[in-house]
Chain A
Amino acid sequence: MSGYQLNGAVIAHDEEGYLTDIGQWTKDLASVIAKAENIDMNESHWEVVNFLRDYYEEYQIAPAVRILVKEMTKKYGKEKGDQKALYELFPYGPAKQACKIAGLPKPTGCV
């Protein structure tokens, strides 16, 4: 199984790039994962990642896309807070790709 390179260390991930041990996540690692996903992290990306991590800490799961949209609307207004804007930030889908960068497990099921 391969891993992300960070400061000379190798952080293991699964076949799809999700961290094997979510406890190894750091902000620096998030940037490395994002790079592997062809995403250049800006402030909005961090807002999403931070919200996902806070939500996960409380509920042990990533928030529903609708909850994420609501949160972003609160922060940025209606224009930047819809599903389309989230897909612009995370083209592979805000749920899966943003979770990967935030170091959280992949949402599974019919999603």
Chain B
Amino acid sequence: MAEATKFDPRQHVHGDPLDMPALCPGAMQASKPYPAAPNHNQALGFPGELAPDWKEKAIARLGELLESNRALRVYLDSCVKCGACTDKCHYFLGTGDPKNMPVARQDLLRKIYRRYFTLSGKLFPKLVGAEDLTKEVLDDWYSYFHQCSQCRRCSLYCPYGIDTAEISMAARDIMDTIGMGQKYSNEIIGKVFSIGNNLGLPPKALRNTLEGLEDDIEEETGVRVRLPVDEQGADILLVTPSADFFASPHMEGLIGYAKVLHESGVSWTLSTHASEAANFGMFIGSHENMQKIALRIRQAAQDLGVKRIVIGECGHAWRVAYSFLNTLAGPFEFLDPNYPVPQHICEFTYDLIQQGQLKFDKSKNDAFRLTFHDSCNVARASRMGDWAGGQFDIPRAILRAVCNHYFDMAPEVIREHTLCCGGGGGLLTDELMDLRAKGAMPRMRALQEAADEHGVTHMAAICAICKAQFSKVLPMYGFDREAIVSVHQMVSNAIVLTGSKPPEDQESGDE
């Protein structure tokens, strides 16, 4: 785990989050994730390792993608090198490596596209920036397409709307197709197929974990709030990232969902078959794998006979669910058409708040001076509610309903302009810690500004990756590890459950 350069985050936490860095060519050349083992690749239908004819196969695969995805060809054709995207990537801001400028990242694929798929590139490659596909180019792909978190911030500023995420997904798809997969994502997808979730949490362990949480809630509130699993005929199937069953502050968010669902009076269940909302098939750009994972949700919904699907706090899962679920696993004619298919847990909670069905004691969160980190896939690739910008307004409205002290970070780094946590898109792996630390710098600076200006102590998020990444990088930048919280953790703290113990009894924990 050699670090490319010495980087001390604490020296970088103060300053303008969007400051143009000094250029450091090649600074991140050596950064790359561990390669997937042959069995990880094969479980997903890819060759185990790089084949001798990899070059022909890679070009052929690019050809197939250009045919099946017209947007990809437009993205590769339409860049005019205007430079609007250059300083919009958090990895560029954090590393100064010019190959982390979105246009340069795109060009890694674009130059190959030009060489083999355009007339000018076939005839006069040098004149049009076309290049042969060589092992050096392929190694550059592996390195720099794994320095894109597919957050789509750059695409927001591109006058042509070129989506670098789509380009990096295509490049990863090509690399998988020739047996050059990445360990982190591919091993995890394999676990979804064999066990049912990213974590590898078997049903027995899931049940035990949920029972433990029921005990915890009862001890805290005196109310038996159930966390049911595989319950036939429940109204709602809750699909949530498996990190919610394992990590903190994820699990505290899960407790929050359970309390809200309990108060709503609607019956609900988790599923051991669809015990994962995340869909890493998107990160590796593999439509086939993304569909296979998404179909597990349909299967579980049908098997359990539910009427509604609700998705927990997970950024890219919400993108897949909101934007693609119907195409991947629909139609969902068997669900109740009176509710969105699917619905976000934040929408569910927000609706109940609007109807006055939830009671809160906001003072329970008085130790928190909160801000909210918009997660990229929720912010720029989906929506909540039935108005433009609902995905920004709804989580904030929930936080304001449950907490007395809420402050936004600077306008240029929130809502659709939000900055990636630094660990999204299949990069949340330990060997990329140097990249993750540097990529988090813009967000850490924005948080520091909010701390200096408003005394902000905690940041809430609705994405499992963001939560795990911040737990890791916050202490590096001098913040408390537990300064990252789940939105529904804040709900959980403040919600007053019907029939709960009066405050004096809660203190002693008996009765």
**Chain A contact residues, CB within 8 Å of chain B:** 15-16, 59-61, 63-67, 70, 83-84, 87, 93, 95-96, 105, 107-111
Contacts and interface: CB of A to CB of B under 8 A. Distances in A.
B248 A108 contact: no
A65 B247 contact: yes
B209 A111 contact: no
Interface of B: 34, 183-184, 187-188, 191, 197-202, 204-205, 208-209, 212, 216, 241-243, 245-248, 250-252, 278, 314, 428, 430-431, 464-465, 467-468, 472, 481-482
A83 B201 CA distance: 21
A111 B247 contact: yes
A105 B194 CA distance: 15
A107 B212 contact: no
A61 B199 contact: yes
A59 B183 CA distance: 25
What 5 pairs across the A-B complex have the smallest Cβ distances? A109-B198, A110-B464, A59-B205, A110-B243, A111-B247
A105 to B, nearest CB: 7
B246 A107 contact: yes
Contacts of A65: 246-248, 251
B278 A110 contact: yes
A67 B165 CA distance: 37
A111 B431 CA distance: 14
A67 B481 contact: no
A61 B209 CA distance: 11
Contacts, number: 89
A108 B429 CA distance: 9
Majority secondary structure of chain B interface residues (helix, strand, loop or mixed): helix
Nearest to B482: A83
Majority secondary structure of chain A interface residues (helix, strand, loop or mixed): loop
Given A109-B188, A111-B243, A61 B202 contact: yes
A83 B278 contact: no
Given A66-B252, A108-B191, A109-B243, 17 more contacts: A16-B34, A16-B431, A60-B202, A61-B202, A61-B205, A63-B209, A64-B251, A70-B216, A83-B481, A93-B472, A108-B199, A108-B200, A109-B191, A110-B242, A110-B247, A110-B250, A110-B464
B428 A110 contact: yes
Given A110-B241, A110-B465, A66 B202 contact: no
B481 A87 contact: yes
A65 B247 CA distance: 6
B246 A95 contact: yes
Contacts of B481: 83-84, 87
Given A67-B212, A107-B199, A109-B241, A95 B205 contact: no
Contact of B430 (A16, A59, A110): A16
A26 B94 CA distance: 42
B200 A64 contact: no
B205 A110 contact: no
A14 B246 CA distance: 23
A108 B426 CA distance: 12
B49 to A, nearest CB: 15
